[in-house]
Amino acid sequence: MSNATQSALRGSQRDQPGNPRAAFGGIGKSSVRATNEPPDFIAIQESAEFRALRRRLKWFVFPATAFFLTWYIGYVAIAAYAREFMARPLIGEINVGLVMGIGQFITTVGLTSLYVRFARRRIDPDVDRIRHDAGEYDQ
């Protein structure tokens, strides 16, 4: 048995008596709201911050969805009605249909990555601020 296995069997130094153990993941406090009253969702919904957040989200989501649906339905329509075009070879056995099909996957990953980046930078900070102002959790 190696030393690594021996130390794994004995446990780590944190498990020794006398050392206080932290909660799972090192989280020491609860994220549960301090008050028993629910947030005023109507007031939140009518606030200028929330409306600006929704407008910013719509600015990204609707055009991205329209682009992707147009691209996807266009690909299916071309595959169904323009078989000669899709069968046109580009390099060896690789044809237009295969490249466009792989392009569907690349577009999906790219659009998802763009949304995650957009949400982290432009949506999540405002969501956290609105939640904090509503008293939903303490940061």
pLDDT recorded at residue 44: 87
Output 109 or 45, whichever has higher pLDDT. Answer: 109
pLDDT recorded at residue 21: 54
pLDDT recorded at residue 23: 54
Q: What is the pLDDT of residues 46-60, one digit of tens each?
A: 889 999 999 999 999
pTM, 2 dp: 0.64
Q: Are 114 and 47 in contact (CB under 8 A)?
A: no
Rounded to whole angstroms, how far apart are CA atoms 107 and 87?
21
Q: Which two tokens stand for residue 41?
A: 């969702």
H or E stretch covering 139: none
Mean model confidence pLDDT for the chain:
82
Q: What is the mean pLDDT of residues 11-24?
A: 52
Q: Are 45 and 39 in contact (CB under 8 A)?
A: no
pLDDT value at 61 more than 60: yes
- State the pLDDT confidence band at 22, using cuts at 50, 70 and 90: low
pLDDT recorded at residue 7: 45
pLDDT recorded at residue 132: 87
Look at the block and give the residue holding tokens 């130094």.
13
